[in-house]
Amino acid sequence: QVMLTESGGGSVQTGGSLRLSCLVSGSAYGSNFIGWFRQTPTDEREGVAAISNAAKQILYADSVKGRFTISRDKAKNTLYLEMRALKPEDTAVYYCAATQIFVLDLLDSTNYSYWGQGTQVTVSS
Judge whether 70 and 60 are in contact, CB under 8 Å: yes
Long-range contacts of the stretch 60-68 (C-beta < 8 A, 24+): 61/107, 63/89, 64/90
Judge whether 107 and 48 are in contact, CB under 8 Å: yes
Report, as an integer, the average pLDDT of 94-119: 92
Percent of the chain with pLDDT over 70: 95
Tell whether the model's pLDDT for residue 118 goes beyond 90. Answer: yes
Percent of the chain with pLDDT over 90: 72
Residue 36, number of CB atoms within 10 A of its CB: 28
For residue 47, how far is the Cα from the chain centroid? 8
Q: What is the mean pLDDT of the chain?
A: 92
Report, as an integer, the average pLDDT of 67-86: 94
What secondary structure, in 3-state letters, does 9-55 show? CEEEECCCCEEEEEEEEHHHHHCCEEEEEEECCCCCCEEEEEEECCC
Query: In the prediction, which pLDDT does 29 show?
Result: 53
Residue at 41: amino acid letter: P
Report, as an integer, the average pLDDT of 36-55: 91
